[in-house]
Structure 1
Amino acid sequence: MTEITHRHVESQSGLRMHVAEAGEGPLVLLLHGFPECWYSWRHQLTALADAGYHAVAPDQRGYARTGGPLETGEYSILHLVGDVVGLIEALGGGRAVVVGHDWGAPVAWHTALMRPDKVRGVVGMSVPHRPRSSRPPVEAMRRMFGDGFYMVRFQEPGAPEAEFDGDRAAVFRRLMHGASGDGGGAAWIAPEGGGLLDTVPEPEKLPAWLSEDDIATYVAEYADSGFTGPINWYRNLDRNWELTTAWHRAQVSPPALFLAGDRDVVATGAPHAIETMTDFVPNLRETVWLSGCGHWVQQERPAEVNDALIGFLRAL
């Protein structure tokens, strides 16, 4: 049975990153989203290794065993892309296929956008590539969804992590179930005077793809880092808009693949972005929709995701 091993790697960005890895061969980086860590790729690490690849899933900046700096401004998209490029260099240089889910998808897309010389191919899951908008995003989201929308609420100092760090097991149970194909979806708009978790009920039982042991693993992985670092990613949304002026409406040139669940409100809520993605990702090879699947695609449908990834990798 293929073994997943763990170590810390000194990324050339200056961040000491925890990575889980398996296999030997061409490098495939697996970038998790919120609120996850390396563990969300547990099914892909071994499958990719068995297919002849060096699969590496880091805990990204601010997350789990990597942790991160205290300054909010050190979580910009330039820092996140820098970590990925620095990790590619630390793992032998050359080029990698960069795969990202949820928040990891924009990091993967931007790595391919900013450093195509380091990227053999790019895979986005759940979050399509979106060109830079014409105005800062936070105020636009506030006007569209209100002050209770989670990305707007995450701008507040201290309050979001106080809610999320209060009962981490409940956070993972509620969010994983609520945003999955088995849940009823999550509005992610806090009621007046309430919290974000009020929008996601405690599940009566966990879906088949998620166990109490999985929840306990996530809780243990967050034991030292908590939620401040992950939420700091959201606090840089407007700053990211300012920092990416030079790439306004630029194209992602490496070969690309997009995967999403047809019950994922993140993906289904952005039909125009997906329909027009080839305008800005001209080498998009395929868009794969997973029927009955929600947001946590690589955990909900590991076999189908593994087949799509390996097929894409072998075609490069």
Structure 2
Amino acid sequence: MIREDGIKWDGDPKKGDQKFIHALSSVGYHSVAPDLRGFSDTEAPTSITSYTCDHIVNDLVALIDSLGVEQVFLVAHDWGAIMGWYLCLFKPERVKAFVCLSVPFTPRSPQMKPMDRMQGFFGDDYYICRFQAPGEIEVEIAELGTTNVLKTIFSVRKPDPPCFPKGNAFGIRTNASISFPSWLSEEELTYYVTKFDQKGFIGGLNYYQAIDQNWEVTEKWTGVQVKVPVMFIVGDLDMVYTTLGTNEYIHNGDFKNDVPFLEEAVLMEGVGHFINQERAKEIGSHIYDFIKKFK
């Protein structure tokens, strides 16, 4: 399994996502959950080019090889899901089936670079556009504090595209308390903060800053379908799902056209972006029911 923020699903109650890994363990699955490069205890190279999809897929293939297996069941969320799609696209023979959480496949558009398209749709304050200026967001995060920033990210449930105005990107008011989501413990948040404070946010931001480079790397993959069995799960309050055009893409047949072996797209009501934590047991059951068909 892969997730975007470097937290390992290893069942340690001092680490994030223990509810989810326990849900999977209870139905008999052992998992290996790598940190993506740039997160947690991994190396965090400063060069943006070190975070392009070809590098990350090579990391994943090397990991699969080290396990001594030809294929894996893949479960991934957010940036992990994005890199999971690239793994399925580049190396479909290494993936038996893919359970994708939150982020659907995004076909490459040959006409326009992704950042030009996002800026045109959403403007300069769109969060991904704001992340393109190296150093800017890091300064704001340092001023606000990692704890406040992460707590805000976990708590947000806005249906509009996230916009980060300059000066206070995360909309945190001085001295205002930020409530914990019911599914997030203080112990989990402390672990996240500790890990992000090790190396800062450079790894995570570099993934965003490499988006246009991924577009260049994948030129020969334009129009290529993802041909592995897929289950897709998303919450109806997830900002990815509510972003302009995404839910239409998922439901109007275009997603199925690009991913012909898409077996199911599950929309969970009343759930936000961090679906694997908010509804851990349900997600674990969905995963189990899907992958047991391939055993």
Which TM-score applies when normalising by structure 2? 0.89
> Are 1:155 and 2:132 an aligned pair?
yes
Rounded to whole Å, the distance in 2 between the matches of 1:93 and 1:41 is 25
> Are 1:170 and 2:148 an aligned pair?
yes
Rounded to whole Å, the distance in 2 between the matches of 1:308 and 1:132 is 29
Alignment check: 8 A CA contact 1:209 1:300 kept: yes
Alignment check: 8 A CA contact 1:153 1:160 kept: yes
Q: Which has the higher strand share?
A: 1
The residue number in structure 2 matching 1:287 is 265
The residue number in structure 1 matching 2:231 is 257
Rounded to whole Å, the distance in 1 between the matches of 2:173 and 2:240 is 15
Rounded to whole Å, the distance in 2 between the matches of 1:140 and 1:299 is 31
Alignment check: 8 A CA contact 2:101 2:232 kept: yes
> Are 1:123 and 2:103 an aligned pair?
no
Describe how 1:78-227 pairs up with structure 2 within 5 A.
Answer: 78-134=54-110, 135-166=112-143, 167-178=145-156, 183-184=157-158, 187-191=161-165, 193-198=166-171, 204-227=178-201
Moved more, 89-98 or 120-129: 89-98
What do the CA deviations read for 1:152-196 (whole angstroms, capped 9, x no partner)? 111111111222244110111100001xxxx445752123x4232
RMSD value, Cα: 1.9
Rounded to whole Å, the distance in 2 between the matches of 1:235 and 1:313 is 34
Aligned residue type for 2:46: L
Rounded to whole Å, the distance in 2 between the matches of 1:107 and 1:95 is 16
Moved more, 106-115 or 204-213: 204-213
Rounded to whole Å, the distance in 2 between the matches of 1:158 and 1:271 is 33
Rounded to whole Å, the distance in 1 between the matches of 2:177 and 2:227 is 42
The residue number in structure 1 matching 2:44 is 68
The residue number in structure 2 matching 1:7 is none
Residue from 210, 213, 218 that aligns with 1:236: 210
The residue number in structure 1 matching 2:280 is 302
1:59: Cα distance to partner? 1.3
What do the CA deviations read for 1:22-65 (whole angstroms, capped 9, x no partner)? xxxxxxxx2112x5632554223233233332211111110011
The residue number in structure 1 matching 2:11 is none
Gaps of 5+ in 2: 9-14
Aligned residue type for 1:231: L
What do the CA deviations read for 1:228-271 (whole angstroms, capped 9, x no partner)? 01100011111100100111121111110000001112113212
Alignment check: 8 A CA contact 2:102 2:275 kept: yes
Rounded to whole Å, the distance in 2 between the matches of 1:262 and 1:146 is 24
Aligned residue type for 1:123: V
1:224: Cα distance to partner? 1.5
> Are 1:278 and 2:256 an aligned pair?
yes
The residue number in structure 2 matching 1:32 is 3
Change (3 A) 1:196 1:77: same
Describe how 1:11-50 pairs up with structure 2 within 5 A.
Answer: 30-33=1-4, 35=5, 37-38=7-8, 39-50=15-26
Gaps of 5+ in 1: 1-29
